[in-house]
């Protein structure tokens, strides 16, 4: 089955710096890669996602890149702000033979701290 | 909030008791999921269901049971066989075709 590795597990940056979170996946059939942000005690919320037919996607200060050959994808946050402090999870899933979806497999998460 | 309601937010039980966590969604989603979250462990899949009256075990199903009698509801029972039940439990749902997943606000279960 799919295995998703995420690193680093923690990252501390100064406000205004950029942050990069990297994930690798094992199943070359995976075709959907979302990123979730979870603030303390709250539910994970989708912040951006990318499908395997796209190499890069951007939404304001966040961007995701996908390298299918190397089986890794990354989240980039520019001009970080204190409210970006949270745990970020990457995930991967594919499609099953019946046309539905395979289950999402999550990385272990990365705690980002943005210091003012 | 977000169309998925988990209740209660906090739950306390004595060891040896079964406890059922509620999850209801009004998003008309076909698929529903239960995840367990422990510090440093990420989200681990317990059970999932893609249609009514059918469900599959996830990666850590031992000690848990579910039912899916209605499309809107996917309750999770934590049985006394679950060795370490204290955790944050998240319910999620999606269309049958797949993600994105929408999460509920979670239930924090403490067993003493």
Note the pLDDT tens digit of each residue in B50-97.
Answer: 899 999 999 899 999 999 999 999 999 999 889 999 999 999 999 877
**How much is the pLDDT for A100?**
55
Q: Which of B40, B99, B105 sits opposite A108 (nearest CB)?
A: B40
Cβ of A46 within 8 Å of Cβ of B100? The answer is yes
Which of B5, B1, B21 has its CA nearest to residue B87? B21
CB contacts, 8 Å: B41 with chain A = 108
Output the pLDDT for position A41: 83
So what's the pLDDT on residue B49? 93
Q: For residue A106, give how far its alpha carbon lies from the nearest alpha carbon of chain B (Å).
A: 6
Q: Say yes or no for a CB contact (<8 Å) between A100 and B100.
A: no
CB contact under 8 Å between A89 and B50, yes or no, is no
**pLDDT band of B2, cuts 50, 70, 90:** low
Q: Which residues of B9-47 are buried (b: 16+ CB within 10 A; e: fewer)?
A: eebebeeeeebebbbbbeeebbbbbbbbbeeeebbbbbb
Rounded CA separation B74/B91 (Å): 8
């Amino acid at each position: 089955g799919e295995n998703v590795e995420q690193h680093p597990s923690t990252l501390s940056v100064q406000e205004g710096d950029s942050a990069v979170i990297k994930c690798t996946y094992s199943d070359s059939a995976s075709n959907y890669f979302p990123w979730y942000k979870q603030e303390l005690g709250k539910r994970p919320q989708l912040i951006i996602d990318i499908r395997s037919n796209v190499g890069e996607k951007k939404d304001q200060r966040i961007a995701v890149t996908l390298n299918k050959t190397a089986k890794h994808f990354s989240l980039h946050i520019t001009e970080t702000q204190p409210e970006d402090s949270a745990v970020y999870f990457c995930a991967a899933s594919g499609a099953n033979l019946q046309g539905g979806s395979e289950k999402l497999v999550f990385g272990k998460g990365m705690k980002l701290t943005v210091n003012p | 909030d977000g169309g998925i309601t988990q209740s209660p937010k906090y739950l306390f039980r004595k060891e040896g008791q079964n406890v059922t966590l509620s999850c209801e969604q009004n998003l008309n989603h076909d698929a529903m999921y239960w995840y367990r979250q422990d510090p440093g462990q990420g989200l681990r899949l317990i059970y999932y269901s893609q249609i009514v009256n059918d469900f599959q075990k996830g990666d850590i199903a031992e000690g848990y049971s579910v039912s899916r009698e209605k499309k809107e509801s996917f309750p999770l029972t934590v049985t006394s066989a679950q060795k370490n039940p204290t955790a944050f439990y998240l319910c999620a749902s999606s269309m049958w075709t797949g993600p994105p997943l929408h999460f509920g606000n979670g239930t924090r279960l403490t067993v003493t």
